[in-house]
Amino acid sequence: MGAVEIHGVSKRYGGVQALDRLSLTIPAGGIYGLLGANGAGKSTLMRILTGLVFADAGSVRLFGAAASPAGRRRLGALVESASFYPFLTAAETLNTLAETSDAAVDAAALLGRVGLADAADRRVGTFSLGMKQRLGIAAALIGSPDLLLLDEPANGLDPPGALELRRLLRALAGEGITILFSSHLLDEVERLCDRVAILENGRLAAEGALDTLLAADARLWLDVEPVERALARVGDRGRPEQGGIAVFVRRDEVPALLGALADDGVSVYEARWLRPGLERYFGSGG
């Protein structure tokens, strides 16, 4: 049983098929990445999970039960960019949201948790974009959710802000919260997530553990001399690439390969893995 189970979910807006019979299981624990280009269906899926919109077909289960208002009380969500009343302070914002949600909150503790302890009494209108994103995550944590849904939380952040966001999400995951993190930024997903689902035109293009997806088509690049003798040794597993040779080989085969090349009189000056990254799963249409 996963934290979220999505079965055959479809959603159309006019002539646009936002989601097309999508099925996906998100396990409990860790950071799960939902990756895709703008328009791939990520935000639509987030809205369906939170109950902001309804699917045209299919079903959603949360924590083993059909999605319901009671089940969604175990969720915290930041869908797209955070938006707050600029005249309220950070602490007032959290207290107001907690009151409207009929939830208890320790605003000072929650702001400290997201790195805004020193800004508790500042008006939100003076916050930077990164600070507003952290306040949005604090708001999503009201009620101590088991699952945190974050839709493009790194949008518009400068490098220091993105780094702070990654540190915060790793810390929250370390506390046992399951995080569903959507992004169109490949490097953010590769740096953060344990497991990834890749959406393309509302459909599932790929899904799996990040290490497994990144390892697909990985090859060992060697700076060798003479190249011809090395290619003769590796046979059809190798090809010339980037001034050396690339060999499709398993990690446990590398020591034997390097030993065989040395026995053949081939000098190996450098060896490193080339990995294609997650972009290989995107079609030509982006």
Contact in structure between 242 and 234 (CB atoms under 8 Å): no
The whole domain housing 266 covers: 216-281
Structure-block tokens of residue 60: 């959603």
If asked whether residues 189 and 254 sit together in one domain, one would say no
Q: Residue type at 34?
A: L
If asked whether residues 130 and 242 sit together in one domain, one would say no
pLDDT above 90 covers a percentage of the chain that reads: 60
Q: 10 Å Cβ neighbour count for 113?
A: 18
Residue 151 domain-assigned (yes or no): yes
CA 236, 238, 240, 244 dihedral sign is negative
pLDDT of residue 277: 64
Answer yes or no: is pLDDT of 236 > 60: yes
Give per-residue pLDDT as tens, 19-34.
Answer: 999 999 999 999 999 9
If asked whether residues 275 and 174 sit together in one domain, one would say no
If asked whether residues 210 and 222 sit together in one domain, one would say no
Laid out side by side, the sheet with 238-241 consists of 238-241, 244-247, 219-225, 267-274
Residue 138 domain-assigned (yes or no): yes
Give per-residue pLDDT as tens, 253-282.
Answer: 999 999 999 999 999 999 998 876 666 666
Q: Following CA atoms 241, 245, 251, 252 in sequence, which dihedral angle do they give, to the nearest 10 degrees?
A: 160
Residue 263 domain-assigned (yes or no): yes
DSSP string covering 219-240: EEEEEEESHHHHHHHHGGGEEE
If asked whether residues 265 and 169 sit together in one domain, one would say no
The total domain count for the chain is 2
Query: How does strand 57-62 pair with strand 195-200?
Result: unpaired
Give per-residue pLDDT as tens, 170-180.
Answer: 999 999 999 99
pLDDT of residue 280: 65
Final residue before a domain boundary, out of 168, 191, 214: 214
Final residue before a domain boundary, out of 166, 186, 214: 214
Mean pLDDT of the chain: 89
Question: What pTM, to 2 d.p., does this model score?
Answer: 0.76
Residue 286 domain-assigned (yes or no): no
What CATH code is carried by the domain that includes residue 264?
Answer: 3.30.70.980
143 vs 127: CA distance, rounded Å = 24
Query: How does strand 65-66 pair with strand 203-209?
Result: unpaired
If asked whether residues 157 and 27 sit together in one domain, one would say yes
